[in-house]
Structure formats: structure tokens, C-alpha cells
Amino acid sequence: MTLKDQQLRSDLAVDGMSCAACANQIERQLSKLDGVTGSTVNFATGQATVIHDPAITNDVFQAAIQGLGYTVVEQGETDEAETRREADLRRRVIVAIVLAAPTALLSMVAPLQFSGWEWIVAAMSTPVVLWCGWSFHRTAVLNLRHGATTMDTLVSLGSISAWLWSAVVLVASLEGGHIYFETGAVIVTLILLGKYFELRAKRRSGDAIRALADLGARTARLEDGSDIELDELAVGMRFLVRPGEKIATDGRVVEGASAIDMSMVTGEPVPVEVTIGDEVIGATINTNGSLTVEATRVGSDTALAQIVRLVDQAQGSKAEVQGLADRVSAIFVPLAIATGIATLIVWFLTGHEANEAFTAAVAVLIIACPCALGLATPLGILVGSGRGAQLGVIIKGGEVLEDTRSVDIAILDKTGTVTEGRMELVDVIAPNANSSELLRFAASLEARSEHPIAHAISTASTSHDLVVDFQNRPGFGVSGFINGIEVRVGRRSMFDQISDELEAEAAEVERKGSTAVFVGRNQQAEAVLVVSDQVKATSRTAVAALHDLGLSVMLLTGDNRRTAESVAKLVGVDEVIAEVLPDGKVAEVKRLQEAGHRVAMVGDGINDAPALAQADLGIAIGTGTDVAIEASDLTVVAGDLRAVADAIALARRTLATIKGNLFWAFAYNAAAIPLAALGVLNPMIAAGAMGLSSLFVVSNSLRLRRFAGYRRIS
């Protein structure tokens, strides 16, 4: 293959996009460039990806994007750019509210009016319409340059038309003319609020990547005791890992033995025993013994880096959910503008005065202006998310709501989602011995160990005995002398004698998915300690609620099949897929999506983050990791799995409310525009009707406050 035949991929961070139409325009412009074979622009992540000939540099792409009126920022500066944009929008919202509120009061409450109040209203509304609403005017102009119109076009036209006409009436003292400064100011203020809510939700899309990147170790300690930065670590170097430390990078154990907390990758609470020759993964935690590890993968090749890429790719490839208002506006906005122009022309041609013609045309634009439309989505989201917060459900923006409509499969992670996510001692089986005494002995020994299973055993007894000559045998168990008698706790291999009866009991324990720990004296096993990750009391009810919502339920876990099937049987799920790692979970989600299913993924661990991002609807259990929470669309703060059913039901109810708001807002416009064009509705009545439309949207949205959910929380 020659250099010319090779294709490169370039990623650029684009700032200044305000809607999906902006992304589409940039994508089309990039695709037209010579040597470009493909381009995609993701509005949600602000990323443009270009597949191109190596001869083309990023300067060409940057020039094309800037030519459309957008800005290309350095990849490392995207957070700062978004922070600046949010701060600027917040300033404009504050100024708009401060000025628009008295403007509306003076214009609509006659007792507050005084001589010359019109000039005060004009002065207060001008910065709102022109400065606060600048982004709408800029976007409208950019769209018009490329033959496109959006809701921003109507916001700009309606607010500018109301302000201009009012200024003409005020300055020229037109007889019979009315001023509508408050209309333009209120329109800009309400739509700005909606944009601000949207931007805050959109900014969360990159948080999962940042949270994942923070998991890794910052430095590595080499064999000679010197510390080096992680990016200086190379394949083949050996580094030390002390108890409680994170493993610096992927590698192979060359000295020592320990138990590694692998929950970052597997999601399971039981540490994995490792010894010489075993592979370990960077950012996992060494729980007890000291290790010497030889680096086998560094930088972008590590397992953590691959998980980061999985989340990034899943977020970047997720289809944009075009807003309902934007979809309808593709037809409605040009039609409304054409109607306003036609009204002006017809009234002139039929011999009417200029004042009458402009009044009718402005009435059309005002009645068409999306005041209620601007409230329909953000207010529905605001009330729905507020009620969700009371129920322990966090909805991350309106774009996730449509994803709940056709979800037909719910995938549940096991540990921490269906189960408690922590090991507990649930039983002591001692057929021919004193179970209380053996438990006390075991707890006394395990109190000296840092292993999570040891913690579950040591806390199960309120009293401990004095232990002499304690020994920790990594991967096998512990031993020591109590009252002059040797006591051992651990695996089968720790004992020379195990009765058939006790062996059968241990096998049954393991068949049911629990962990069997042997305890005994003088090398003879006398009891089995049953340690288990308990199923949450509400999990079965939660699965039934998901079935009630019309969803099939699947259990997807990194744990062994025997344990997974045991849990699945207890809670009533429809299908089990076990022993899968993060990439396997993503692959399973993709497989279901390619089969035509809409997938909801419920999880709580870092290992769930890629699947949460890939799923059509990602739901994180709030008791889990920050990475899982940030990668999800919905977050359930409580550990109660029934709240997942509440989350889906609330999201669906919120979407239905928003659709109702949009329908009636558009219906109002469709009915009122002809009346305004015929002169039946003058601008003042149009503004009043617009207020009534907004009042309906508010009252309809407030009904969401009565949503109770499956837990029946008032």
C-alpha cells in the first residue's frame, strides 16, 4: 500500500455549535473537501472526525470549519471552552431575567404605568433582545447563509420584529400603533433558559472519560526504590507494588503473592489471588502482599486505556436524538416566515395602510414565535427531573427521554445492582463441632488479614482470642495458635483431613453460588463458613416491575455461571450471560441492538461504564462508582433496584408530557397564524394568547409532580 492509498483519521474539537443542524452543516462542508473520504460531527460531544488523505493537514479542516462561523479548539482546551461558554450564557440569562421581568410588568400591568414608561421599557428590552439574544441572531444568520432554518430563526425574527416595530411606533409616534417590547424580551429570556439547561446537561458527556483517566496510578516505584512518572515506564521495566497501592500498569508478577482487587474490571468484590507468573492489570489494587511486577503493556495499550476508548467510542457513536420541536420546525419555521411576508404583501396590495400591514405581519410572527415551544421541553424536563430527584432518580437532560420509549430489554449487572455488592458471613456449617467456638477462632485469625472475605468473617464475631505465631499464606488462607492449638482458615488445601460430609456441604454451598471457607484445628477441617454477596431484598420485586413495563430482563455479569444462575433464579430474570469482561458486555449490548432491540443497561461498577455508554439507555446505581454514574443517562441514587423501574416510568411520563406540550403549542400556532394573517388577532391579543399557551404548558408540566412510582413515594 502506498502512502497515497493510506487513510488517516483526524479528530477536532469544535466550539460554538448550538444545535444538530450546526453539526450537519460542518459535516457536509468537510465531506466536500478534496481527499476527504468521510466525516462525522457529533453535536453532543463537540467532536468532528475526518477520514482523509495524509496529504491534507488539519489546517485545511480548521479553515473550513471557521469559514462556517465555528471555532476549532485544542483537544486539551475543550473543557475550558465549554466552561467559558457556560459562564457567558449564565451572564446573559441573569441579565435577561433582571431586565425582562420589570419590562413585562410595566407593559402588562396598567396601574404600574407612568408618563414615559414606554421609553423605560424600550431601554430595558434593548439589551435583552440584542445582547442577551445575540446567539440566536448569530445562529439564524449562519443557518440562512446555508439555506437552513431552525427554531433559532423564529426566535431571532420574532424578537427582532417585535422590537423593531415597537421602536418605529415609539419614535415615529404612529397613530394606532402598539409597542411590544416585552414580547421580544420575554421570548429571548425563556429560550435562553432552555439553552442553559441544555448546555449543562450536554457538558456531562465528557465526565466519564475524565473520571476514568483519574483512576490510574501517577507514579511507579522501580526495584531500586526510585519513583518515576507513569509515562516514563516502559515495557520490560520492573516495579514494586506494596499492600494497598494501585498497580502502575499491566504486567506479570515476577516475585511475591497477593490478592488483587479486580472489581474495576470484573465488578466482583472477591479479590483474585495472584502469584509468580500471573497477569495483573494496571489501576487494580493490591490488597495485602508485596509484589514485583514486570510491565507488559503501557500507555494506550493498557486495559484501563482500552476501557476509556470503549466509553469514548460508545458516547461518540450514539445516535443523536433530534428534538421534537426542531423536527417539526423544519417545516413550520419556513412556513411561518413565508406567511408573515405574504401577509405584509397582501395587505399592501389590497390598499391597507402601512401601519395595518405591518401590524398584521408582526402579529403573525409574534403568534408564530415559540414562547410556549421554548417552555415545552425545558419545563417538562425541569419538573420531571425535580420529581425524579425526590424519588432518587437523576435524569441527565432531555435527550435521554426518547430513548425510554421503545426500550424492550433491560440488562442488569449482578454485583452491587441485583446484589448488595459486599461479602457477608451468612452461615456456619459444623456437623460435629461447636460452630460458635470455631467462628470465634476463625474471626480471631482473620482479624489480622486485609482480605475482604477475611473482613466478612472477622466482623461476624463480637469476641476474639489471642493469636500466636500468625501466618498468612497468600492464595490459601491463614493459620495461628490459639490456646496452644493450631487453627487454620482457608481453602481445602490448607487441611490434611476433610470428612465426606463436610466436603458435600461445601460443594452444595458453592453450587448455590456462595464461597466456602474451611476452618479447623490440628489440620482437620471441622466447619464450613459460608460467605456470600446477598441478593437485595427488593430485587425480585424490581424485576417484576420491569416486566410490568414491558421489558425482558437479562442478567449480565463477570461472575461465574453457577453463581449468576443462582441469583437469576432468585430474582426471576429471563436470561443469564456470565463470565464476561467490559468489552464482552459492550459486545452483548451491540449484538442486541443489531438484532433490532432497544437496550437499557443497569450497572454500578467501572466495568459497566462502556456498556452503560453504549446502551440506548444507561442507568447507573448511585451506590456504585463515579465512572458508572457519569457514563449513564439516568442515575438511581438509592441502591433499591425498584428505583430503576421508577426511573424508566418517570422518563416515559416526562416524555409524554413534553410531547403533549409540543402538540398543543404547535396546534395553537397552526390555528392562530391564519387568524393573525387575516387581521382578526392584533399583536396585543396575539401576545396575550401566547401567554395563555405558555400557561397551559406550565400547568401540564406541573402534573409530573404527582408521579408516585412503583415504590409509591409521595
Active site residues: 413
Q: In whole angstroms, what is the distance from residue 315 CA to residue 264 CA?
A: 20
Instruction: Give me the residue label for grid cell 507488559.
Output: 296
Amino acid present at 671: A
Q: How many CB atoms lie within 10 A of CB 647?
A: 26
Give dist(CA 177, CA 168) in Å, integer.
9
What are the distances in angstroms from CA 401 to CA 143, 344, 604?
A: 27, 40, 21
d(CA 585, CA 513): 21
Give the whole-angstrom CA distance, residue 697 versus residue 436. Answer: 65
Amino acid at 138: R
Q: DSSP label at 243?
A: T
Whether 384 and 393 have beta carbons less than 8 Å apart is answered as no
Phi, psi angle pair for 208, to nearest 5°: -65, -40
End-to-end distance of the chain based on CA atoms, in angstroms?
Answer: 67
Cβ 433 vs Cβ 526: under 8 Å: yes
d(CA 669, CA 366): 10
**Can you read off the three cell numbers belonging to residue 672?**
392562530
Closest CA to 529 of 419, 627, 451: 451
Instruction: Give the C-alpha separation, 445 to 481, whole Å.
Output: 9
Identify the CA nearest to 603 among candidates 566, 560, 557, 563: 557
Q: Which helix (H) or strand (E) holds 262?
A: none
Instruction: Provide the 8-state DSSP code for 215.
Output: T
Residue 480's φ and ψ, nearest 5 degrees, are 180, 170
Enclosing H/E stretch for 517: strand 515-521
CA distance 282 to 300: 12
Q: Which residues touch 40 (CB under 8 Å, ≥6 apart)?
A: 27, 48, 49
Instruction: Report d(CA 505, CA 510) in Å as an integer.
Output: 9
**Packing angle of the helix pair 78-108, 181-203 (nearest 10 deg):** 150
Residue with cell 483526524: 10
Q: If we measure between CA atoms, which residue out of 10, 17, 79 comes closest to residue 42?
A: 17
Distance, in Å, from the CA atom of 651 to the CA atom of 656, rounded to the nearest integer, reads 9
Nearest to 404 by CA among 666, 644, 710: 644
Provide the sign of the torsion angle of the four alpha carbons 51, 53, 56, 60, taken in this order. negative
User: Alpha-carbon distance 586 to 609, whole Å?
Assistant: 9
